[in-house]
Each structure stands twice: as C-alpha cells, then as structure tokens.
Chain A
Amino acid sequence: MKKLISLLLVSATLLLCGSSRAAEHITVKGSDTMVILAQKWAETYMKAHKDVTVMVTGGGSGTGIAALINGTTTLANCSRPIKPKETKDAMANNITPVEYKVAMDALAVIVNAQNPVNELSMNQIGAIYTGKISNWKEVGGPDHRIMRYSRESNSGTYVFFKEHVMQDKDYAPDCQNMPGTSAVAEAVSKDSWGIGYGGVAYFAKMKELKILRVKKDNTSKGVSPLKQDGTVDFEAVWKTEYPVARYLYCYSIGKPSGKVQEYLNWILSKEGQTIVEEIGYVPLSK
C-alpha cells in the first residue's frame, strides 16, 4: 500500500515536471486552405533554424481567429480578412490582431470533366449557389439538377465566396457541406452534375475535374486561373483579370517580436514566396 502511494506520488511529480510549453514555440492555427502551405513553410524554416519550433493545425479560418481571440495561438492563418466583430472580441480580451498579407490564392470553380459547360459569369455562379439557378440547362448545360458542393461554415473559403461571389446572400440549403476542400474535389470528381469551389492548388492535378473560366460580367471574356500549360496564371491574379482571387492572411497578437517577426519576414521573403509557388498558390506581386 505504501509502495503504491509513493509510486503514485513520484509519477505525479515527474508528470508535472515535464509539463511545459517549449520556449520559442510558434503555434499556427487556422485556414484549411493554407494548412498545406503553412506546414511546408514550417518544415522548411525549421530545417534552417533549429532553435525554433513551429506547430501547425488546421480547423478553418474561423478556428484560427477564435484561437487568436482566446489567446491559444501565436499566429492565425486566415483565407479571409478578419471581421469587425472579431476584432472587437479580440480587443475585449486585450489582444490586437495585426494583419499580414502572406500570399494570394485563385479560387477555382470546378465541375466534373464530363460537364460540357466551360465558363460561367460571376452572376451565374452566385445565382447557382444561392439557389436561384437550379438546373444546368439554365447556364448552357444538359437538363439536370445542379448538385452544389460547398465547405463548412467555419471555412474562410466559404465566407469569402459568400461575400464576393454571392453578394453576401445566403447559401442554398441543399448545398452539401464537405469537411475540407479535398473532400469537395473528391465529391465533384465522382458526381457528373456537381459544382464546387476551392483553392486552385487542390484541383490543378485532377483529371476528373474541369476548372471553369470565370467572366466578370456577362459581356467580358472568361478568364481561367490556369495558363495553357496548366500552371497557375499569376498575372491574371495580380491584375485582377481573374475575378475570384483573394489574399491569404496571417494575423499575429500585437506587433510580433523576436523569432515570430523573423518567421513572418522569412515567409514574405523570396524563399517563402517560392514555396507559395511550389504548392500552387500565387505569390505576392513584387
């Protein structure tokens, strides 16, 4: 009995001894669109800088901002700008979010490769997702119901799409909400009548998907986020010729200092931006 108690006490002490967070530990939470990019950044940065550890978790832009407000993360990745209400909540917790634009992203609108439709205007895409247009024949396709695939409401992609493509109107209730862009790709690739959206990097290599050209309005020419050779068209994004493009943000708690500032600087440098290109996003214009 005594042995048991002393063993328990010793192990409890040892357990508590080890409880700590490592110094120079950067936590990055947030956007699932950016999680692959964030992880590659972290991996490459840590190879060169052994004294810093960067931990990456996804969960959606909403998660990242929520973590920032609760103070449980150092940096928050966001595929949409922070909302005024969120800034207010943060300030109420004595946290001032500072915004950094770290990359750009072309949001691709995808359909199944068997779908004859090749381009849509922003209005049409918005009308499809709000539920106004429900049949492919209304936009030049075959006579069949449109199967809409979307993201969960915690996704920055979801919010950005809503604000910029749907003019902030609500999604149709029959949108199927997938737990990640990869799941959207998977679903649309297997559904001949599907339509979906997400960061172009997720779709560029999938043969079963077709990336639509997007027209700014009914009279302009349809622009594709990809060049002829299949790589992402940076110029189209920088010159806003491709209308469904956005910045990717990183928020920190107050003005960052020390290692966090170094990490952010590295992300914005040529090295960090080269990684952006490799993954399939759009680097910031020079």
Chain B
Amino acid sequence: MLSTRGINHTIRDERIILPSTTPPRKEASLSLRDTPLRAKARHRLKLKVQEFFIEKFLFLNGLASIIIIALIFVFLFRTGIKAFIEIKPLQFIGTHIVDFSGQEVFAYIWQPVGEQGKYSLIPLVLGSLLVAIPATIIATILGLGTGVYLAEIASRRVRELIKPAVELLAGIPTIIIGFLCLSSLGTIIQNLFHTTFRLNAFVGALGVSLVIIPVIATITEDTIRAIPDDLREAAYALGATKWETTWRVLIPAGISGITAAILLGMGRAIGETMIVLMATGNAAIVTLNIFSSVRTMTATIAGELGAVAQGSAQYYALFLVGATIFTFTFFLNLVSEIIVNRMRAKLKL
C-alpha cells in the first residue's frame, strides 16, 4: 500500500475538499502560508533525502563482502610477512641438519619446536596437495556421474528425491566425517590395502572427497540442464543415441562449468581442516606416496595455533601458512569465476 501522505485534504463545512479544487486563500504573506502544493513538494524532498541515505547505507553493506575479503588479505599477510623478519627466507624451503651418519644434509622438515626451529613449507604444501588432488579426482568421477545422472537420466520424481539427498551429503559436519575416518575407515583401508601407515593421505582423501562430491555434482547438473535443448535436438536429429549426445555434445558444451566445478571442489579440498586433522596422521613427511602419513597446511594451523605465544616466530610462520592457503584458494576461485563468466557470456549469445 502506498502512503497517502502526499495528498492533503481539508474538511470544511463537513465537506471533503480536494486540493485541486481548493482556491488559494487571499491573505497577507502568502509565502508563509502552508499551501498543499508546497507541502507535497516538501514531502517529496524528504523522500528523496531518505532515498539518498538509504542507498548509501545499502551501498556500504554491499561493499561488505569486498571489505571483508580485503581485511582477510590484509590481516593474514600483515602478520605473515613478519615471519620473514624472524626466519630467513631460505628456511621456508629447508634447513641444514646433521643426520645420523654425521653428514650435513639439506632437509625439508617442519618442526617449529626444537633446538633449531625448522620451518620448511615443502612437506606441508606437498601434504595438502597429496590429499587434495586424489580427493578431487575421486570426487570428479563420482560427482560427474551423479550430475549427469541427475540431469539427463533420472526422471523428475527420482531427481527430486535424490538431489536433496546429495545436498544432505554437503551438510554433514566435517568433524563427524573426520571422526568416522579415524575410528573406522582407517582400519578398513589398512585391511584392504595393507598400508604401512594406518592413518594416511588416502584415508584423508576419501573423507575429503565425500565433502566435495555434492559441490561437483550440483554444479555439473545445473550446467548440463542449462544447455539449451537445441543442441540436444540437433544431435538426436543426426541419429545420436542418448549417451553419445551426453558424452560428445553436452559435456563438451558444458566443459567450462564442469571445469569451474572441479576447480571449486579442489579449492574446497585444499581448505578442508577437521577431516585431515584426524585422518592423515599429521606427520610432516616429504613424499609422493599416497599411503603415507602426511601433514597438511590446514591441520598444521589447527594443531599448533592454540599453543603459540603471540609474537613468536612460530606464530608468524603459522599466519604465513594461512596466507599461503588463502592465496591458493583465492586463485582457484578467481580462475573458476572467470571460466564461469565466459561460459555465461557464450551461452547467452
């Protein structure tokens, strides 16, 4: 309902007289007289001023996301850069230690608490990637399959049942997945594959893939459904079967969206904390063996941040690790954003 404040009326002699029919009264100092027209103009001005302030207020709120991302950037890097004051840059790659046979070796070790603090980032970055990449691969296979199934193969009723179920998978708190990996999954994998380390990157990758499958599945499904029917109909007209259409026409057409989904999933995998904290063993080993225990960047922060004294070298190093994770995921998100925008532009044409 619109407000009726703009319309004045006066009651005189029990008749409602509308403004347009009220003649202006001939009295002295007409300028001080509150004419209905002037009141209307004043009210409109008041509304305009209100509108101006409201728009500016909403504008500030709109900027909130940009401000927050900027703040995260600033605070992470501001504290992380201080790490370079206390720790020489070369130490972030490795340190010289004397090993058991008496030789001096250049070792890649992360061990901030020790006679000599060792801050090599290499085992941490390798650890994160050793969990994230297999997790993304597993999740891509399962997620793509699920996405294609939901988009092309399932009937509407089945889709309405299964899509929420897949989204529910996204809603499981990661602490619970980590907890189940620690207690049950590790043993299962050890019995199946006879691994040396019961808690290793593979167990972590399985747990993390559970979280990423819904991401890839829902975006893939949206992408494929968004492809206009003309493409499908053209393919059918040329005699293609359903699977030929999907595999050779639709997926290539939606490849940008699918790539964006995979990148987003990978970003999520790198950033996952609780699952890897409980399931990977947290040993800072430099290895490419997926069945070895690893230490991810995220688990390092979660495991060590509570205990550091503020201002110590380890404190700054942890913020530097955080800045590294943030940079990784920021770029992954940015690239996937550009790909999606390009795809949207292409599809609109």
A-side residues, CB < 8 A to B, are 59-63, 65-66, 69-70, 86, 89, 131-132, 145, 147, 152-155, 158-159, 168, 170-171, 173-179, 183, 186-187, 190-191, 194
A177 touches B283 (CB 8 A): yes
| CB < 8 Å A-B pair total | 96
B111 touches A171 (CB 8 A): yes
The proximity string for B residues 182-199 relative to A, scoring 1 for CB distances below 8 Å and 0 otherwise, is: 110011001000001111
B-side residues, CB < 8 A to A, are 97, 100, 107, 109, 111-116, 118, 123, 182-183, 186-187, 190, 196-199, 277-278, 281-286, 293, 295, 303-304, 306-310
Interface centre among A65, A155, A158, A177 (most CB of B within 10 A): A177
A17 to B114, CA, bound (A): 46
- A-B contacts, 28 listed (Cβ < 8 Å): A60-B306, A61-B307, A66-B307, A66-B308, A70-B310, A86-B309, A131-B100, A147-B198, A153-B304, A154-B303, A168-B115, A170-B116, A173-B123, A173-B284, A174-B283, A174-B293, A176-B197, A176-B199, A176-B283, A176-B293, A177-B283, A178-B281, A179-B278, A183-B182, A187-B198, A190-B198, A191-B190, A191-B198
Residues on B with C-beta less than 8 A from A178 are 281-282
Residues on A with C-beta less than 8 A from B97 are 170
Task: Please give 13 more A-B residue pairs, beta carbons under 8 A apart, in addition to A63-B306, A70-B309, A170-B114.
Answer: A60-B306, A61-B307, A63-B307, A145-B196, A147-B196, A152-B307, A154-B306, A159-B113, A170-B116, A171-B114, A173-B283, A176-B197, A177-B282
A183 to B49, CA, bound (A): 62
B278 touches A175 (CB 8 A): no
Expressed in whole angstroms, the minimum distance between the Cβ of B184 and any Cβ of chain A is 10
A131 to B100, CA, bound (A): 8
Residues on B with C-beta less than 8 A from A145 are 196
Interface centre among B123, B283, B304 (most CB of A within 10 A): B283
Residues on A with C-beta less than 8 A from B100 are 131-132
A187 to B190, CA, bound (A): 12
A175 to B310, CA, bound (A): 26
Q: Choose among A65, A153, A194 the residue that contacts B113 (Cβ–Cβ < 8 A).
A: A153
A154 touches B198 (CB 8 A): no
A70 to B311, CA, bound (A): 11
A60 touches B307 (CB 8 A): yes
A89 touches B283 (CB 8 A): no
Given contacts A131-B100, A176-B293, contact A147 B197 (CB under 8 A): yes
A190 touches B186 (CB 8 A): yes
Interface centre among A69, A86, A174 (most CB of B within 10 A): A174
Residues on A with C-beta less than 8 A from B186 are 190
A173 touches B293 (CB 8 A): no
Given contacts A176-B281, A177-B295, contact A153 B111 (CB under 8 A): yes
Residues on B with C-beta less than 8 A from A179 are 277-278, 282, 303
- Write the chain B residue with the least CB distance to A171: B111
A159 to B109, CA, bound (A): 18
A89 to B153, CA, bound (A): 65
Q: Choose among A66, A86, A186 the residue that contacts B310 (Cβ–Cβ < 8 A).
A: A66
- Write the chain B residue with the least CB distance to A193: B196
A65 touches B111 (CB 8 A): no
A154 to B284, CA, bound (A): 15
A246 to B17, CA, bound (A): 96
- Write the chain B residue with the least CB distance to A59: B306
- Write the chain A residue with the least CB distance to B314: A153
Expressed in whole angstroms, the minimum distance between the Cβ of B51 and any Cβ of chain A is 13
Residues on B with C-beta less than 8 A from A159 are 113
